[in-house]
Amino acid sequence: MKQDALKWLQGTLRGELNRTLRRKSRSPWVVGGLALAVVAVSYFLHEPKAPPSTTAKGMELVCTVKTVYDGDSFVASCPDGKVQVRMFGIDAPEMKQEPWGDRSREALRGLLPSRDSVRLVVRDRDRYGRVVAQVFAGERDVGLEMVRRGRAVVYGQYNDSPLYRQVQIEARQARLGIWEKSGGQQDPAAWRRLNPR
């Protein structure tokens, strides 16, 4: 919309400048003023192209973990600064789902190296502005490992990986983590619906 208005205004001013130049009786001040107006409008309405974001979909970042919030989100220090990360494809119990939320956070802390780097493969951004990324510690897919240990579930709405689903079935059959007993901890999304913030 802004670009269309800019093009229209530039065209109008250029047309007026051309008409003024064809008339020999016009003052050089009028011609100069119109030329200056074309330049000013172009300068103020032009939106410079932003450089490609290092957190754009498909980008890979090598970062260090600074703070683990819960079982599926943390803050990382990356080359371009601090990045809030929401792990792709999993959903962990909330911190208020005692003791499941705390157990999930501790499991994630154990999987994320505190001094070594992790690799983030950016998949998207969530509604809170966090980078949604598949997270790797060495060759290990950390999200997949959280599901394998029963500390998170597959976030079916966003992750249709057969491997993740199979690992979840195996964790459930082995009664690991959240699967050790029945209850609301087995479906974090259902718990959030029943316990809005």
pLDDT of residue 8: 59
pLDDT-derived band at 55 (thresholds 50, 70, 90) equals: low
* Alpha helix segments (H runs only) across 68-152: 100-111, 142-148
Identify the residue whose tokens are 């130049």: 21
pLDDT of residue 51: 38
Question: Is residue 194 scored above 70 in pLDDT?
Answer: yes
Per-residue pLDDT reduced to its tens digit, 83-94: 999 999 999 999
Closest CA to 23 of 12, 7, 34, 38: 34
pLDDT-derived band at 7 (thresholds 50, 70, 90) equals: low
Total residues found in the chain within this entry: 197
Catalytic choice (86, 105, 148, 149): 86
Per-residue pLDDT reduced to its tens digit, 111-154: 997 778 999 999 999 888 899 999 999 999 999 999 999 999 99
- In whole angstroms, give the CA distance from residue 107 to residue 101: 10
pLDDT-derived band at 68 (thresholds 50, 70, 90) equals: very high
The fraction of the chain above a pLDDT of 90, given in percent, is 48
Cβ(141)–Cβ(135) below 8 Å? yes
- In whole angstroms, give the CA distance from residue 96 to residue 150: 18
pLDDT of residue 30: 61
What are the structure tokens assigned to 4, written together? Answer: 């269309």
- In whole angstroms, give the CA distance from residue 89 to residue 157: 8
Most confident of 17-21, 52-56, 67-71: 67-71
Cβ(109)–Cβ(149) below 8 Å? no
Q: Specify the higher pLDDT residue, 57 or 175.
A: 175
pLDDT of residue 148: 97
Q: Is 130 a catalytic residue?
A: yes
Catalytic choice (103, 130, 148, 149): 130
Q: Specify the higher pLDDT residue, 182 or 42.
A: 182
Within 8 A by CB and 6+ apart from 170, the residues are 148
Whole-model pTM: value is 0.70
Cβ(131)–Cβ(118) below 8 Å? no
Mean pLDDT confidence for 22-37: 60
- In whole angstroms, give the CA distance from residue 43 to residue 47: 9
Q: Which DSSP symbol is given to 186?
A: G
Q: Is the dihedral of CA 106, 108, 110, 115 positive or negative?
A: negative
Average pLDDT, the chain: 81
Catalytic choice (94, 103, 105, 123): 94
Neighbours of 159 (CB within 10 A): 20
